[in-house]
Chains A and B, each alone.
Chain A
């Protein structure tokens, strides 16, 4: 073949290839254009979704750069009492209560220095009208593709109500604590001031009896003795009231072996010659103020012994548990209580016995202690046969 012919053929090939390339390019361009259109549409949809989110968010949203406000949503404008356009001319510092500026500044600097990925703080914002409100602000960076910071995105939640509620609660607790203290002091003073004149009367009656034995005889002596007995009762009452007031103020809870405690109490109280104490069931070890639990058993055992007309006084103490409570019962073979008094005996100042052996405070204290430990106390009784007190203590309050 001639060289010229070969070159011509090569040229023709190249022209054909070029035309083919142009066709492909055109095809690709069209494809690119269509893809671009699609992207733009998607972008538009995404943007309108974002704007919708931005504008309808329940939180204030602000985009800032070096503390300057770039844009905010209308919610933030509403929170601050400014128009959105007004806010765009301001800085975060302008909107922050001056006392909170430095901590806001420190955290923002840490974010810029990339010491932290984001931060959250409670601070006060200053509205256009000068009023302040507490808000929780969460700030995170919006990054460019190269990793540099484009904006800081701040999400602002008004927590004024929360802060006010917290303050109210704190004040309330403080008030309650000081009231409790006052009450305690009050009870102490009252008991002291009530007892002093009683002691004086008691002493003087004693001296009258001693120094003027000749003058006080027969009915006169009986009257003096009656005064002494009434004074004795008044003393017990004052002590009882004071004790009632103190239930729950003792907070030294220790491990208490309930079985050992019942035995200890039974040795401490006055018991008749013929006395039988039996224990039944698994007695738990509890976390409880020892003196309080001791008070319960002391009261119930003493009642069982005191209100008893049998030759052999028998007391049975049982213990068992449910999923939520520890239970104890104290059963005696005493004189019993009529059913109509079952509720009354747990209220203050009620004694049923005419001879008034008790002050009428003891069972009220027992009930208060049980309730303090999330439990209760009930009574069951048959006149002439005996009484059973059953009380419970919540495990949540007393479990080790």
Chain B
């Protein structure tokens, strides 16, 4: 997993819960590098589970809710860092349908070892769109946060339904309907 995910997680935790919470979850998670993550590095994705798990326990909050919130945070940092990616699309659906075929392709050019989830989008005649998340990392909640934040970024009112195709969360269908 790319280092940016860790550094952004720490940023979010520090903003919402303070620096002490950051130190606490680093200690709880017993990380091999003691939390010294750099954006350009690549780390074992299990470390993020341990960090989120620790945060969940300490704050008594559902882990998936935390991941989803993190997804929203992550999207905002993307908007700030890579505004061009968003300006190229006129609305949320055109952005989302380009994630897999365009954005992930570009990401791989810069980080050939990036392990990205698979997204398939299907347009429905009624104007809604399905986005199917597939990843062995089962971080569908992160995807959910990213999608919601995307809709909000484009200022579009929407409804998001999710359906587990695989019960363990390795394959989840999101259905997005604009209101």
Binding site for B on A (CB under 8 A): 1, 3, 6-7, 9-10, 12-18, 20-21, 24-25, 28
B33 within 8 A of A: yes
Residues on A with C-beta less than 8 A from B39 are 21
Interface of chain B, main secondary structure: loop
Interface residue range, chain B: 10 to 19
Interface string of B16-55 (1 = CB under 8 A from A): 0001101100100000011111111100000000000000
- Given A1-B20, A10-B19: A16 touches B36 (CB 8 Å cut-off): yes
Whether A25 lies near B40 (C-beta < 8 A) is yes
**In whole angstroms, how far apart are the Cα atoms of A362 and B35 in the complex?**
116
Other than A10-B22, A13-B34, A24-B41, give 16 A-B pairs with Cβ distance below 8 A. A1-B23, A3-B19, A6-B19, A6-B20, A7-B19, A13-B26, A16-B34, A17-B36, A17-B37, A17-B38, A17-B41, A20-B38, A21-B38, A21-B41, A24-B40, A25-B40
- Given A13-B34, A13-B35, A16-B33: A21 touches B40 (CB 8 Å cut-off): yes
- In the assembled complex, how far is the CB of residue B14 from the closest CB belonging to chain A, in whole angstroms? 9
- In the assembled complex, how far is the CB of residue B100 from the closest CB belonging to chain A, in whole angstroms? 26
- In the assembled complex, how far is the CB of residue B32 from the closest CB belonging to chain A, in whole angstroms? 12
23 A-B pairs with CB atoms under 8 Å apart are A1-B20, A1-B23, A3-B19, A10-B22, A10-B23, A12-B36, A13-B26, A13-B34, A13-B37, A14-B36, A16-B36, A17-B3, A17-B7, A17-B37, A20-B33, A20-B36, A20-B38, A21-B39, A21-B40, A21-B41, A24-B40, A24-B41, A28-B40
Whether B23 lies near A6 (C-beta < 8 A) is yes
Which are the 4 A-B pairs with shortest beta-carbon distances? A16-B36, A21-B38, A17-B38, A17-B36
Q: Which residue of B lies closest to A16 (CB)?
A: B36
Q: Which residue of B lies closest to A7 (CB)?
A: B19
Count of A-B residue pairs with CB < 8 Å? 42
Residues on A with C-beta less than 8 A from B37 are 13, 17
Residues on B with C-beta less than 8 A from A1 are 20, 23
Residues on A with C-beta less than 8 A from B36 are 12-17, 20
Q: Which residue of B lies closest to A1 (CB)?
A: B20
Interface string of B144-169 (1 = CB under 8 A from A): 00000000000000000000000000
- In the assembled complex, how far is the CB of residue A25 from the closest CB belonging to chain B, in whole angstroms? 7
**In whole angstroms, how far apart are the Cα atoms of A15 and B41 in the complex?**
14
Residues on A with C-beta less than 8 A from B34 are 13, 16
Residues on A with C-beta less than 8 A from B19 are 3, 6-7, 10
Q: Which residue of B lies closest to A21 (CB)?
A: B38
Q: Which residue of B lies closest to A18 (CB)?
A: B38
Residues on B with C-beta less than 8 A from A25 are 40
- In the assembled complex, how far is the CB of residue A34 from the closest CB belonging to chain B, in whole angstroms? 15
**In whole angstroms, how far apart are the Cα atoms of A208 and B172 in the complex?**
128
Residues on A with C-beta less than 8 A from B3 are 17
Interface string of B117-157 (1 = CB under 8 A from A): 00000000000000000000000000000000000000000
- In the assembled complex, how far is the CB of residue A171 from the closest CB belonging to chain B, in whole angstroms? 65
Residues on B with C-beta less than 8 A from A18 are 38
**In whole angstroms, how far apart are the Cα atoms of A10 and B35 in the complex?**
9
- In the assembled complex, how far is the CB of residue A5 from the closest CB belonging to chain B, in whole angstroms? 9
Residues on B with C-beta less than 8 A from A21 are 38-41
Whether B23 lies near A9 (C-beta < 8 A) is yes
- In the assembled complex, how far is the CB of residue B155 from the closest CB belonging to chain A, in whole angstroms? 36
**In whole angstroms, how far apart are the Cα atoms of A143 and B31 in the complex?**
54
Residues on B with C-beta less than 8 A from A17 are 3, 7, 36-38, 41
**In whole angstroms, how far apart are the Cα atoms of A1 and B19 in the complex?**
10
Whether B41 lies near A20 (C-beta < 8 A) is yes
Q: Which residue of A lies closest to B18 (CB)?
A: A6
